[in-house]
A and B are shown apart, each in its own frame.
Chain A
Amino acid sequence: MASVKIKALHKRFGLVHAVRGIDLDIPDGEFTVLVGPSGCGKSTLLRTIAGLEDADDGDIEIGGEVVNRMRPRDRDVAMVFQDYALYPHMTVFGNISLSLRARRVAKPEIERRVRQAAGMLGIEPLLGRYPRQLSGGQRQRVAIGRAIVRNPRVFLFDEPLSNLDAQLRDEMRGEIKRLHQEIAATMIYVTHDQIEAMTLADRIVLLREGQIEQQGPPLDLFERPATQFVAGFLGSPKMNFLTGRLERGTDGACIDLGEGAPKLALPRGRDLMAADGAKLILGLRPEHIERVAAGPPAEGLVRVEATIELIQPTGSRSYATFRLAGQAVVAELQAHDVSRPGERISVAINLWRAALFDPATRKAL
């Protein structure tokens, strides 16, 4: 167990500047998820922590010790790879025990630790098999077993679930979370999947173009995104972004989305430091739009008449697309709120939960 500190880390591959000055402080025992679109540098950052890539600039500390010049084997970290990277010429037992054999651990001790790790993952009956005889989920378990048998200071996961089918992915996600609760080790997990990030993380570090866009507990990022990028990346279906203009009146501020939409009055206390007439981007999560009956809406809710263009039922909910001042908006409604395209319904938009961004800087207002 150990904390991980990263200071002003840079990594370049020729002309590509993959990691651009990252500072990160991961306390002992925390489950940190590095998330971002492909090419954001998250895998490179992980591989640099593992020692598979050399840092060009900056420091990596594990347990208070600078490990920049240490070989991977001396860093005492374990890594689970996207393609599992199981040794095809060794049995499951051979795969899990290799690290212990390389360190010349006594045979009975190897036997005991391999069985314990296999027991935790429910793969004891598979110890005599070869990787090619295993299913994807079983291979993934072996890869995780290979990591936990060593009892390393830090666990690194490089998109470990992306090769599994959806159902198995959900199951293994739960297992990894349970594993973290059981052994309480420091874990750093890379994924491009925002649902994995939200469900697993104690803390999400959202990367973009080699830099940290925002970090914090999952719900903080979800509810208070610092930038439009963060708001758009987290959440499914995606947050709606509408362009508009701020209008200040005698009884507070409202947002003018343009021709064909009512002005959206901002609730008091949701005021912002922007001048009258300033352009802004309104961010609305689909789940913050709901169907309402006639009558005046509650404080902070704005009622809008919507003509539904497209319905995507998921079973429990239905995603309905309509237009506000010509701009498409997706609302997440109850399954039976809408029945057919073309239907006109009243929806309420919750402006308490709305996000506002400056179109120039793309930062939250």
Chain B
Amino acid sequence: MAASRGGWRSGRRNLGAGAARFLVIGLFVIFVLAPLYWVVITSIKPSSDYLTVPPVWFPAQPTIVHYTAALFSYRGLQGLLNSLIVASASTVLSAAMGTMMAYSLARFNTGGQHLAFWVLSQRFLPPVAIVLPLFLLFRGWGLYDTHFGLIVAYTFMTLPLSVWMMYAYFRQLPKSLEEAALVDGLSRWQAFRMVAVPLAAPGIAATAVFVFIAVWTEFFFALILTSRYAFTLPTVFRAFLGFQGAQYGEACALATTSLVPSIILGILVQRHLVRGLTLGALRG
């Protein structure tokens, strides 16, 4: 009797908890997706529908005119290509160099206990403190407004992130696998390439996604270090806020476009990403 009453009570409590959880998660999903929906919908609204009261939830006559304007008149396509080039190259360089540096720190304790922290400390400087000296250097070296210059800047900007993520990853990889490889007759480089790197693939994938997103959304450095030629996607958005008002449609069209590469990348590495983010806690 007592047991059955307890069971009924706990059943009702579970139901209540389930509903509360559903509500919280539902609100969170709306919170995240609503602005996204608004951006996508605004990008295909005719200009007259932007700020109506009540709002237009779905335009009667969708249009792609904002896309053609944003991509071609405002050179959004050029910005997209530049961003793809710069972000891909910096991601590859940063993840590759970060992986090697992190391996060295994790396995040989390179630079004692302070070097790893010093690497991280590079991020303590506010970007504005670096960007002006960098601007002057780039002007002097002919790197201003070049893809290469921006790639160099972003690689070094994101390197601390890569190093620290991979450092944490390598530290939890068992040493004995590499030791087995060394005794098996592999050189240290071979052991790194054939054993450590494949095992660290989830960590490298997660690191690459973080670096890519950081570079893809970076505005400040791109604004100062580029102008008419190597400008990236985020800098294009400036043009939509003019003296005569905001081009909401064009801004949203370009924003929607800029989401696509990140989403593709996310899907590609999704399988690795979850494992990479738990830093190998599920190893085995």
8 Å CB contacts to A: which residues of B66-81? none
Q: Is the CB of A78 within 8 A of B184?
A: yes
- Whether B185 contacts A85 by the Cβ 8 Å rule is no
Contact of B198 among A50, A73, A79, A89 (CB under 8 A): A89
> Is A102 an interface residue, CB under 8 A from the partner?
yes
Residue contact A146 to B179, C-beta cutoff 8 Å: no
Q: For the complex, what is the distance from the CA of A112 to the CA of B232, rounded to whole Å?
A: 56
A146 to B185, CA, bound (A): 11
Q: With a CB–CB cut-off of 8 A, which chain B residues contact A72? A: 179, 182-183
Q: Which residues of A contact B180 (CB under 8 A)?
A: 79, 81, 85, 87, 146
Minimal Cβ-Cβ distance residue in B for A98 = B184
Instruction: Check: B190 CB closer than 8 A to any chain A CB.
Output: yes
Hey, what's the 0/1 contact readout for B167-197 against A, CB within 8 Å counting as 1? Answer: 0000000101101111111110010001100
B181:A77 contact, CB within 8 angstroms: no
Residues of A with C-beta under 8 A to B182: 51-52, 71-73
Bound CA span A85–B186, Å = 15
CA distance A127 to B92 in the complex (A): 35
A72 to B183, CA, bound (A): 5
Shortest beta-carbon distance from A298 to chain B in Å = 55
A79→B183 CA distance, assembly (Å) = 7
Which DSSP category, helix, strand, loop or mixed, fits chain B's interface?
A: helix
Report how many residues on chain B are interfacial, defined by Cβ distance under 8 Å: 18
Residues of A within 8 A of B185 (CB): 73, 99, 102-103, 150
User: Cβ of A358 < 8 Å from any Cβ of B?
Assistant: no
Q: B177 near A73 (CB under 8 angstroms)? A: no
Is A81 a contact partner of B179 (Cβ separation < 8 A)? yes
> A88 on the interface (CB 8 Å rule)?
yes
Known: A98-B181, A102-B185. A85 touches B176 (CB 8 A): yes
Cα(A147)–Cα(B180), bound, Å: 10
Chain A contacts for B198, CB-based, 8 A: 89
Instruction: Please tell me if B152 contacts chain A, counting CB pairs below 8 Å.
Output: no
Cβ of B199 within 8 Å of any chain A Cβ, yes or no, is yes
Known contacts A77-B183, A88-B199; is-contact A98 B176 (Cβ 8 Å): no
* Contact residues in B for A132 (Cβ distance below 8 Å): 284
Name 16 extra pairs, CB < 8 A, besides A52-B179, A73-B184: A51-B182, A71-B187, A72-B179, A81-B179, A81-B180, A83-B176, A85-B177, A87-B177, A87-B180, A88-B199, A98-B186, A99-B186, A102-B185, A102-B190, A103-B185, A150-B185
Which A residues are within 8 Å of any B CB, using their own CB? Answer: 50-52, 71-73, 77-79, 81, 83, 85, 87-89, 98-99, 102-103, 132, 146, 150, 156
